[in-house]
Amino acid sequence: MTRKVRFHETGPPEVLRLDQVEVLYPAKGEVRIRTRALGLNRADALFRAGRYAYDPVLPSGIGYEAAGEVDAVGPDVAHLAVGDAVSVVPAFAMTDYGVHGELVLAPAHAVVKHPATLSWEQAAAAWMQYVTAYGGLIELARLREGDTVLLPAASSSVGLGAIQVARMVGAVPVALTRTSDKRDRLLEAGAAEVIATQEDDVVARVRELTGGEGAQVAFDAVGGPGIADLASSAAPGGIIVNYGGLDPRDISLPSSDVVGKHLTLVGYNIFETTQDAARRRAAVDFILDGLARGLLNPAIDRTFTLDQIVDAHRHLESGDQVGKIVITVAQPENIP
């Protein structure tokens, strides 16, 4: 038996349990991972609360990201071997696999051997943020050297990842955050400038920073009526990539900006990239290169132990974090 994070009803963090479950052998195309660290994402909280894109099948496992050692390999898996240090790319539904636990199954196509320079915590924190940023900025927006990119919710793990991805291609990342409380930490994280949306005139500041031209790209996790400021701040021919809805209100755009500047608004989610084999390989190669060269460096906000999983989810929902929340896993020695 082994411990796995599960919930038997949807709701707040307190519904999470560490259940004893049977240790399963990997089937065709699967591997089993003895985890050392788990990455926590907002998607996990939404799934647990019953507010995600699909409903859980109860009792449900949970979790997209984990790092650890390959413990067993199923048939038809050629690129991985027992003992490999690996991490998991979100490329599956949590109704099929939930990788938050001590000994978990994952589809082999979603398992990557990461650079040895990464700690377990960094490896568990890498894939959701960097693949999301890569897909939105590089695949869709075609971000280029010299482009200015606006990054609402910049203190999230994806926001910080987007700052680094932008820097990696020579673009200029401008961090947007509600107040100036996180300004210094965002500048330290690589933001060229920080705009506090509740304190500054966003449109005026962007025009000032870009010499009146506007931003070529906005990579938006918020949505809602505030997206109008992104449209007004955009350069002619600009693109707004919306990948989240932190503001649940409907998006509202000024038609004068959309039509007059020929703007593009496009929605994005990570599975567009990770569930397409060719796009997934391109993303993984880009990110492995950035990690190996030290251009991508996962920022860890805080770590919790597996026994503190409820506290970790509470911290996630507080919105106070800057960077990734990671769960460390102390492996018992008696797992067969």
Q: Cα separation of 327 and 317, whole Å?
A: 15
Q: Residue 21: in which H helix or E strand, if any?
A: strand 16-21
Q: How far is CA 295 from the centre of its chain?
A: 17
277: left (phi over 0), alpha (psi -120 to 50) or beta: alpha
In 3D space, the residue among 65, 71, 59, 67 whose CA is nearest the CA of residue 24 turns out to be 71
Q: How far is CA 89 from the centre of its chain?
A: 10
Q: What pLDDT does 336 receive?
A: 46
Residue 72: burial class (beta carbons within 10 Å; 0-12, 13-18, 19+): middle
What does the pLDDT read at residue 333?
57
Domain ranges (residues) in the chain: 2-118+298-328, 132-271
Strands (E), 108-192: 111-113, 148-151, 172-177
Query: C-alpha dihedral over 280, 88, 25, 98, to 10 degrees?
Result: -100
| CA dist., res. 147 & res. 58, Å (int) | 46
Q: How many CA atoms lie within 13 A of 78 on its CB side?
A: 1
Q: pLDDT (tens digit, 9 = 90+) per residue, 205-239?
A: 999 999 999 999 999 999 999 999 999 999 999 99
Q: Which CATH superfamily is domain 2-118+298-328 in?
A: Medium-chain alcohol dehydrogenases, catalytic domain (3.90.180.10)
Given a cut of 50, the residues of the chain with pLDDT beneath it are 334-336
Q: What is the spatial distance between Cα 206 and Cα 41, in angstroms, rounded to a whole number? A: 30
Q: How far apart are CA 251 and CA 247, in angstroms?
A: 9
* Identical fold between 2-118+298-328 and 132-271: no
DSSP secondary structure letter of residue 107: E
Cα gap 14→34, rounded to integer Å: 25
The CATH number given to 132-271 is 3.40.50.720
